[in-house]
Structure 1
Amino acid sequence: MKTLFVAPTRNGVGLSSTALGLTRALERQGLKVAFLKPIAQTHELSTDDSVHFARALGHLSVPDPIPLALAEEQLSHGGEEDLMESVVALAQEVTQGGADVLIAEGLALNERNNYAGALNASLARNLQADTILVSSLAGVTPGELADELEIAAQAYRRSDGSGLSGYVLNFAPPGLDYGTLMAELRSRSRVLASGELPLLGVVSQSAGLNAPRTLDIARHLRADVVNEGEAAVRRVTSTVVTARTVPRMAHLFVPGALVVTPGDREDVIMAAALSHLSGVPLAGLMFTSGSAPEESIERLCRAALGSTLPVLRVNTNSFETASRLSRLDARVPHDDPQRMDRMLDFIADRLDTVPLGTRLRAPLDGERRLPPSAFRYELIQKARAAAKRIVLPEGDEPRTVKAAIRCVEKGIARPVLLAKPERVRQVAEGQGLTLPEGLEVLDPDTIRALYVAPMVELRKSKGLTAPQAEAQLEDTVVLGTMMLALGEVDGLVSGAIHTTANTVRPALQLIKTAPGSKLVSSVFFMLMPEQVLVYGDAAINPNPNAEELADIAIQSADSARAFGITPRVAMLSYSTGESGSGEDVEKVKAATALVRERRPDLLVDGPMQYDAASVLSVGQQKAPGSPVAGRATVFIFPDLNTGNTTYKAVQRAAGVVAVGPMLQGLRKPVNDLSRGALVDDIVYTIALTAIQATQVAGADS
């Protein structure tokens, strides 16, 4: 196991977010990463930021750090050796379950802990760690930065010349000339010029990542919450302090704007209310100087002021309020994991872990692990490489529009929105978004006639007439399915506002099943804390018989392998092995035998209870010698009732992300969405569909 110590070169370099971002970047490689904050950052009793988010987002088992007061007491009485023994014990504790790499985060430097630099160097030595230095491009010249890195490198270099793994530069300003910067740094620093301290990444400033919630603003200003609305989810990206007339600042009433105004500016209050009612998601409306609008104005604007629009009130005047807003703490609150999650992805995307060496990449047991972060990362990378055209029939649905824009911007796929172009523009503008050039929008009314004759031909055995086809094509899901059937697009994603039946029925009629497939089934990719599991079938087949259950198992195992998951298939039941009997158990036994007969290459076992399949100690007791028990990665449920209930229980109770359902067995990829799907869910489903399209194309060739 390798230990990497993440250390700052000065105050305010973004140490914690970099340490956690590095953890995520290494997890994407399939490594099992442990995380440790050896000594608490402050004297506060609350959990350290990095420890909290490592637990909440990384689902890592992170021990509590040594209290700072205790560490300082030991240092002041010559007890550094005792302190280091405690640190090493924590490192052993956090890695006792096995890890490929341990990320240890040092103490951030500030004006109160002038001992922290020397203590960090001692921590790195005692943990036998290689050090990654974290610095910042904010407020420093290239010459100063080079000197800073050179001095820090000397502090962490071992006597044999080893001990340095690289450095990260944060807060890069927009438009930075990286080539010129790096040339100047290397010309001033031997450790950089020699390659002994390689650059692992340059992370730019991003205003969007730093946007606080309206709730955070209210807490910071100790504001009275007049109307909570969506204060917990809306984010402040700009502040409008009303010193001008409405016509001169109406263009500032954009999504994410916090409007700060005295309560007697009726024109501003009514303008904000109208903006909200017209669909502009303002971050909120804040009354200053303890004021409030006249009752008549409040009554006139009640539809807005009592809805989802957050309304706050502070006692300070507008100028003082704006001044206090500028001093908002940049730390991410513990109850805002979404913001930190985006920040960690942003950082991980910009870190190059190759210079850390291939020894970090090889899992100890020889089998490549695939934790959730690695699964999501590879999903996006494979989808980008596929570059497939995916049709989205729900083309003017807000989440779908936002997901399509994100797919174009990140190069994940080439989405096609079926909707009126003007309507799509309105939806985008209402979310503060701009439609990128590469986003294709097709008006269903202008293309529908092109698919009448082909649809009649496809359904002639069913006696479909042209008028019937034209009527069915009014449904954009049917229209998109026809585009897929004719090979004009590579896949289809629907379900944000349609039922599963609405999505699947046209596919069964027009796309049909793939060669060798007798049925269509589904899987969910369950992003558990340490690995990704596959659940099937939890969306399509109500009560499959033994032969159908075997087909579902084989399809699900192949899907798992296609997405980098080693399939070990557990055929689930309420009993394990020969411990139970009954019609339901016999069905699972027969299905298990069929899978073994048809696919002897697969590791499969059943009947098996869920705990025996998923918990190693239970599996060894209930099914000793089983290659699947306690290590299953593919869970096949005996019926839809069990599968759907279990996936939702795990998703909600454990806070697990469920990607899917992904449909299996169709000739071309069609995928369904949950009607409660988030934007990220839609993006990942589009990526899944693009990868499936590549696999279908490969099978056809």
Structure 2
Amino acid sequence: MTRSVYVTGIDRGDGRQVVELGVMELLTRQVDRVGVFRPLVHHQPDRLFELLRARYRLSQDPATVYGMDYHEASALQAERGTDELVSTLVDRFHVVARDYDVVLVLGTDFADTQLPDELSLNARLANEFGASVIPVVGGRKQPAESVLAETRNAFRAYDGLGCDVLAMVANRVAREDRDEIAQQLDSRLPVPCYVVPDEPALSAPTVSQIAQALDAKVVLGDDSGLARDALDFVFGGAMLPKFLSALTPGCLVVTPGDRADLVVGSLAAHSAGTPPIAGVLLTLGEAPGDDVLTLAARLAPGTPVLSVPGMSFPTAEQLFALEGKLNAATPRKAETALGLFERYVDTGDLLGRVSAPSSDRLTPMMFEHQLLEQARSDKRRVVLPEGTEERILHAAEVLLRRGICDLTLLGPVDQIRKKAADLGIDLGDSQLIDPATSELRDSFAERYAGFRAHKGVTVELAYDVVSDVNYFGTLMVQEGLADGMVSGSVHSTAATIRPAFEIIKTKPDADIVSSVFFMCLADRVLVYGDCAVNPDPDARQLADIAMQSATTAERFGVEPRIAMLSYSTGTSGSGADVDKVREATELVRERRPDLKIEGPIQYDAAVEPTVARTKLPESDVAGQATVLIFPDLNTGNNTYKAVQRSAGAIAVGPVLQGLRKPVNDLSRGALVSDIVNTVAITAIQAQSPSQSQSPSPSPSPSPSEKASQR
């Protein structure tokens, strides 16, 4: 069984950090404890390890990550030979291997290492570590024939040196050659070969990296603007009309500091989104006056303006030598890299070939990975009514880069585009719709009036109601134009879910709509219900909440073992509140005899094995409950918040259950990661057969809305 994976190459410039990041993502989906080892390092701390540590919350002592630096290795090899070098590195590797279920080994980088036959050294280290190998071949600016030849030669080299080659990766190949190369390699190698195209956004430096490399002064801009990728450089010298026609999306404008017209013109173009730029770099050590800078700041808030003392030509030489790097300070590049890896690598097959030992626990990180992978496996469209909200736009970028789902954003289209441009966010081909001007508004008004005719709602009144983004988004879901909806980052829970109650309504087999939170603790994921919707459910409703929650838990990879919570365990107590829980437990046993359930039971007896052995020693739920059902909203809401704040748990939810189609609510304090997880959950709910009901005849998006798809 493979317990370590060694990612290596044959030369510098192969961009293998994409593969290393992707493999780490795969390993952490399956294994709780993943270690990292880099045999040889140029500088400490290593930027890729720092990225892995930040992203995957690694607790590994950085001192154990590195074998030795290249200077030490070169000296040791020269004085005492390769065997002594390898022996030392093997000893240091095993220090890591002892403490982790699987180890990701980051091979040497073939850059100024002064080590003879570096490929053979990597192969020998992999064999001595007992690691399987994934060689990466760089194909940037190479014809297809060269990529094919180098990939086959790399396989023969590592295979001939006795390595267990898991798969080959041809990376950074020309997009136009990608399919041909993949087809050719598929029939010529005995192991899978994944062909990943070049992605300009990964090699593009961020504005922040440019400022650091050029020692530039930041005249204007914020952190979000400095994080933008500079995809191109446009040098300003022409008059404004000609200059504007040369601008490209994501470009960095380079112009002498005395050309105020070009500064204002480029920022005005950015503000209009035609096109959005990365920023402006002023040369000659000059900057426009305060009046121009004030205008610039108002035109494009957050857009960076940098200043360097040098002239344009030497500045250009420096710029063209820069290349973007994956590190802890570039999380957006990491999302792009993972999206690329997951699109072009058969991750399921590769994970199966790695055969890392599966963890018997569902950790929070594994749960989050599982959500994204499930959502990606059968992409759905989710509508986000709060399209101008900054956190929603950042979450949309992550969702799109990772290929998790398709998106529709609601709101004034120009405002959405401008906000996205100001944040440096590319919304790709997301659909943008303004409910106030949409041609769907008339038909939606008729549909809503039909739903609410019994309440006296006329078409005229409905016309005003459906311009509300939450009503419009809910109608899109009802009419089959979207598969689910997520809102609530700036709207109340009532504003988010009331339209769903009125329009989508409950499933035939559900008594009520209820909710659960996925409580991600340090070592497990628990399901809490109902903590958000029903104030005081009766016994029948409580039973319904328990059964719905069990189905939701199972849908998301949590084996349901239900604890019906009360202040009393077993038969030790009585009273109306305890009797309600006892009756609900019996109803569940009658209706769903396949479910494991215990109740009434106290919280400590439900989750703590030592307490369970004392109070309910014969129970197969006590001490290991995963689904905890609270008797009322007061208890549930306070408990989830107490656990969230006191235990540092991540609370994902509330996730609504019982609706015919998925609509979910966000906390108004939701972080970007919370939004991403909730959208993924919504997309997965839409995949469920129970959600796949025939939609009503639905209008297609109007020509103007098709035009707003980007």
Q: Do these two structures clear the TM 0.5 threshold for a shared fold by scoring above it?
A: yes
The CA distance in 2 between the partners of 1:608 and 1:70, in whole Å, is 60
Say if 1:27 and 1:371, in contact at 8 Å, map to a contact too. Answer: no
Residue in 1 that maps onto 2:88: 83
Aligned residue runs from structure 1 range 110-129, under 5 A: 110-115=111-116, 116-129=118-131
Shift of 1:406: 9.4
Say if 2:436 and 2:467, in contact at 8 Å, map to a contact too. Answer: no
Is residue 2:666 matched to residue 1:669? no
Residue in 2 that maps onto 1:558: 551
Return 458-467 or 406-415, whichever deviates more. Answer: 406-415
Shift of 1:376: 0.5
Match for 1:200 among 193, 198, 203?
193
Shift of 1:404: 8.1
- 2:176 aligned counterpart, secondary structure: coil
Deviations 1:278-300 (A, max 9, x none): 56754333322221223454455
- 1:202 aligned counterpart, secondary structure: strand
The CA distance in 2 between the partners of 1:538 and 1:487, in whole Å, is 29
- 2:166 aligned counterpart, secondary structure: strand
Which one-letter code corresponds to 2:265 in the other structure?
Answer: A
Aligned residue runs from structure 1 range 588-599, under 5 A: 599=592
Match for 1:316 among 299, 310, 314?
310
Match for 2:288 among 276, 285, 293?
293
Match for 1:639 among 636, 639, 643?
636
Residue in 2 that maps onto 1:41: 41
Residue in 1 that maps onto 2:207: 214
Which one-letter code corresponds to 1:16 in the other structure?
Answer: Q
- Identical counterparts, % of pairs: 35
Residue in 2 that maps onto 1:54: 52
The CA distance in 1 between the partners of 2:330 and 2:18, in whole Å, is 14
Pick closer, same or farther for the CA change 1:571–1:329 going to 2, 3 Å: farther
Pick closer, same or farther for the CA change 1:33–1:223 going to 2, 3 Å: same
Residue in 2 that maps onto 1:269: 263
The CA distance in 2 between the partners of 1:439 and 1:623, in whole Å, is 55
Pick closer, same or farther for the CA change 1:142–1:436 going to 2, 3 Å: closer
The CA distance in 2 between the partners of 1:407 and 1:45, in whole Å, is 33
Pick closer, same or farther for the CA change 1:173–1:151 going to 2, 3 Å: closer
Say if 1:542 and 1:641, in contact at 8 Å, map to a contact too. Answer: no
* 5+ long unaligned stretches in structure 2: 695-710
Shift of 1:310: 2.2
Say if 1:493 and 1:689, in contact at 8 Å, map to a contact too. Answer: yes
- 2:506 aligned counterpart, secondary structure: coil
The CA distance in 1 between the partners of 2:338 and 2:428, in whole Å, is 26
- 2:688 aligned counterpart, secondary structure: helix
Return 369-378 or 308-317, whichever deviates more. Answer: 369-378
Shift of 1:204: 0.9
Shift of 1:201: 0.8
The CA distance in 1 between the partners of 2:264 and 2:595, in whole Å, is 66
Pick closer, same or farther for the CA change 1:271–1:667 going to 2, 3 Å: same
The CA distance in 2 between the partners of 1:636 and 1:454, in whole Å, is 37
Which one-letter code corresponds to 1:288 in the other structure?
Answer: T
Shift of 1:550: 4.7
The CA distance in 2 between the partners of 1:309 and 1:454, in whole Å, is 43
Which one-letter code corresponds to 2:51 in the other structure?
Answer: F
TM-score by length of 1: 0.79
Residue in 1 that maps onto 2:169: 168
Say if 2:169 and 2:193, in contact at 8 Å, map to a contact too. Answer: yes
Aligned residue runs from structure 1 range 648-663, under 5 A: 660-663=653-656
Say if 2:361 and 2:523, in contact at 8 Å, map to a contact too. Answer: no
- 2:66 aligned counterpart, secondary structure: coil
The CA distance in 2 between the partners of 1:311 and 1:580, in whole Å, is 70
Say if 2:400 and 2:427, in contact at 8 Å, map to a contact too. Answer: no
Shift of 1:109: 1.6
Aligned residue runs from structure 1 range 433-582, under 5 A: 436=429, 446-451=439-444, 454-464=447-457, 468-482=461-475, 484=477, 490-525=483-518, 534-541=527-534, 548-569=541-562
Pick closer, same or farther for the CA change 1:73–1:594 going to 2, 3 Å: farther
Residue in 1 that maps onto 2:25: 24
Pick closer, same or farther for the CA change 1:166–1:674 going to 2, 3 Å: same
Pick closer, same or farther for the CA change 1:583–1:649 going to 2, 3 Å: farther
Count of residue pairs the alignment pairs up: 675
Which one-letter code corresponds to 2:506 in the other structure?
Answer: T
Is residue 2:71 matched to residue 1:67? no
Say if 2:174 and 2:197, in contact at 8 Å, map to a contact too. Answer: yes
The CA distance in 2 between the partners of 1:245 and 1:589, in whole Å, is 81
Which one-letter code corresponds to 2:13 in the other structure?
Answer: G
The CA distance in 2 between the partners of 1:410 and 1:338, in whole Å, is 10
The CA distance in 2 between the partners of 1:420 and 1:17, in whole Å, is 36
Residue in 2 that maps onto 1:15: 16
The CA distance in 1 between the partners of 2:278 and 2:475, in whole Å, is 41
Say if 1:408 and 1:439, in contact at 8 Å, map to a contact too. Answer: no
- 1:176 aligned counterpart, secondary structure: helix
Pick closer, same or farther for the CA change 1:379–1:177 going to 2, 3 Å: closer
Say if 1:668 and 1:696, in contact at 8 Å, map to a contact too. Answer: no
Shift of 1:678: 7.3
Say if 2:374 and 2:684, in contact at 8 Å, map to a contact too. Answer: no
The CA distance in 2 between the partners of 1:402 and 1:331, in whole Å, is 21
Say if 2:393 and 2:425, in contact at 8 Å, map to a contact too. Answer: no
- 1:326 aligned counterpart, secondary structure: helix
Is residue 2:374 matched to residue 1:343? no
The CA distance in 1 between the partners of 2:128 and 2:109, in whole Å, is 18
Say if 2:553 and 2:627, in contact at 8 Å, map to a contact too. Answer: yes
Pick closer, same or farther for the CA change 1:420–1:440 going to 2, 3 Å: closer
Return 166-175 or 118-127, whichever deviates more. Answer: 118-127
C-alpha RMSD over aligned residues: 4.7
The CA distance in 2 between the partners of 1:109 and 1:529, in whole Å, is 39
Say if 1:31 and 1:360, in contact at 8 Å, map to a contact too. Answer: no
The CA distance in 2 between the partners of 1:313 and 1:238, in whole Å, is 18
Say if 2:562 and 2:596, in contact at 8 Å, map to a contact too. Answer: yes
The CA distance in 1 between the partners of 2:561 and 2:119, in whole Å, is 48
Say if 2:202 and 2:325, in contact at 8 Å, map to a contact too. Answer: no
Match for 2:368 among 348, 369, 372?
372
Shift of 1:345: 3.0
The CA distance in 2 between the partners of 1:53 and 1:605, in whole Å, is 44
Shift of 1:468: 4.5
- 2:124 aligned counterpart, secondary structure: helix
The CA distance in 1 between the partners of 2:318 and 2:395, in whole Å, is 35
Pick closer, same or farther for the CA change 1:211–1:632 going to 2, 3 Å: farther
Residue in 1 that maps onto 2:104: 103
The CA distance in 2 between the partners of 1:582 and 1:310, in whole Å, is 66
Shift of 1:168: 0.7
Pick closer, same or farther for the CA change 1:293–1:353 going to 2, 3 Å: closer
Return 139-148 or 561-570, whichever deviates more. Answer: 139-148
Shift of 1:679: 7.6
Pick closer, same or farther for the CA change 1:302–1:559 going to 2, 3 Å: closer
The CA distance in 2 between the partners of 1:611 and 1:315, in whole Å, is 69
Pick closer, same or farther for the CA change 1:211–1:537 going to 2, 3 Å: farther
Return 548-557 or 49-58, whichever deviates more. Answer: 548-557
* 5+ long unaligned stretches in structure 1: 187-191
